[in-house]
Structure formats: C-alpha cells, structure tokens
Amino acid sequence: MGIKVDDTKKVVKNTLQLLFVGRIARVRRIELLIQTVEKLTFPFHLTIVGGEEKTSSVTRSGYLKELKDLAQKLSLNNRISFTGRKTQEELKEYYRMADIFVYPSKYENFGQPLLEAGAHGLPIVATPVGVARDIIIDGETGYLTSDDPKAISDRIYLLQDNVLRQQMGTQIKNLIRKNFDWGNIMNQYLGLYNSL
C-alpha cells in the first residue's frame, strides 16, 4: 500500500498488491488464499498466476473453476485476477508490481516461486514448505504461518506497513543473493574442490 520503490522503476499504488505464482493444483491450497483475502478490510488486489495442472492420475480436475466459483461466491471477482500461465519474462513484471507474495501450499519439494519472489524483494507469507523454511526468517524476511486463513490474514495485515515491507524485501533479497546466487554457489564448490 502507498509507494513501493523497485530497483527498476517507481510504482505508486493505493491498493496492496498480493501475488501467488505457481501451478494451480489442489496441493497449493489456493482456496485458503481466497478465504484469507475475504477477511481483509483494506484495499487489496490478489493476482493468481499459473495454469491448472493435475499432479497425479487420481487428482480431480476442475480446481481452477472451483477457485473462480469461490471468488464469485465471496464477491471477490473484482479483487482477484486469474492470469493463466506466463513466460519467465512476463513473470518478472508480476513480481515487480506486487507488494507481498503469499503461498499457502500443503507440500513442496522446493518451491521455485518462493525463491523468485524473494529474489525480487517481496516479503513472503507462506506455510513452512520447501525452501520457505530456508528463506523466511519470521518477522525479518516474511512470515511462516499455519494454514488457517485468519492466521494468514493477520500476517498480511502486519505487512500493510510500507517501511516494514521494504525492510523485509531488502533482507530477503540479500539472503537469497548470499545463499542461492549461482556465482556464490559455484565459488563455494570451487573452494570445497580446492580444499581437497
């Protein structure tokens, strides 16, 4: 909310921009995210980026339609956008335009969108899955949360503060540069190799 300054441009907003990026699959529990934003009482917009994919042969299809129906049932159609799949280049713009990244997934092997969001300087509110446990330092780079929509919305409320978001964004970006930048990783491997 307010003014968010990105490395590449200035964007003035009156509405807190929430973002989810990932496969639209039941394991991601995006319905929790929609139930979460229903509890918010300040101006916001949620953008959900990704296409629906079945994660196994026994997974029921139609999840995206269920999510859109839920948004309509909760009268959130004008506050939630479903964009479909986007290219890597297009994704960069979504990350740049967002204020907070929210990820209520039940399970992740890794969680690439979490790393991408943090690399773009977005504070993250997420369940403790995949890489979230490594990059979210509670209260410093974002918030780890339970899967309760009220708990998730409480963390989003804290992040209405523009200064706090910027501080967390800077800290998570620095943490990711330090621990996940390919140049740093290669230097660590070379150091290990040379020490043998």
Give DSSP secondary structure letters for 139-172. Answer: TTTEEE--S-HHHHHHHHHHTT-HHHHHHHHHHH
Q: pLDDT at residue 191 above 80?
A: no
pLDDT of residue 14: 80
Per-domain residue ranges for the chain? Answer: 2-195
Give DSSP secondary structure letters for 46-110. Answer: EEEEB-B--SSTTS-S-HHHHHHHHHHHTT-GGGEEEEE---HHHHHHHHHH-SEEEE--S--SS
- H-run or E-run covering 10: strand 10-13
Q: What pLDDT, in 10s, does the model give residues 64-120?
A: 999 999 999 999 999 999 999 999 999 999 999 999 999 999 988 888 999 999 999
Residues 6+ apart with CB under 8 A from 189: none
How far does Cα 146 stand from its chain's mean position?
15
Q: pLDDT at residue 1 above 70?
A: no
The CA distance from 118 to 62, in Å, is: 30
Which residue is listed with tokens 């967002």? Answer: 98
Class of domain 2-195: alpha beta
The CA distance from 21 to 14, in Å, is: 22
For residue 71, give Cα distances in angstroms to 24, 37, 105, 151.
15, 10, 18, 20
The CA distance from 142 to 155, in Å, is: 9
Max CA pair span of the chain? 62
pLDDT above 90: percentage of residues in the chain = 74
pLDDT of residue 57: 61
Number of C-beta neighbours around residue 55 at 10 A: 12
Q: How confident is the model at residue 126 (pLDDT cuts 50, 70, 90)?
A: very high
Please give the average per-residue pLDDT across 132-151, as a whole number. 95
Q: How confident is the model at residue 2 (pLDDT cuts 50, 70, 90)?
A: very low
The CA distance from 113 to 86, in Å, is: 13
- 95 with 117: CB under 8 angstroms? yes
Please give the average per-residue pLDDT across 173-188, as a whole number. 78
pLDDT of residue 78: 93
**Which tops the pLDDT comparison, 55 or 91?**
91
Q: For residue 167, which amino acid is it?
A: Q
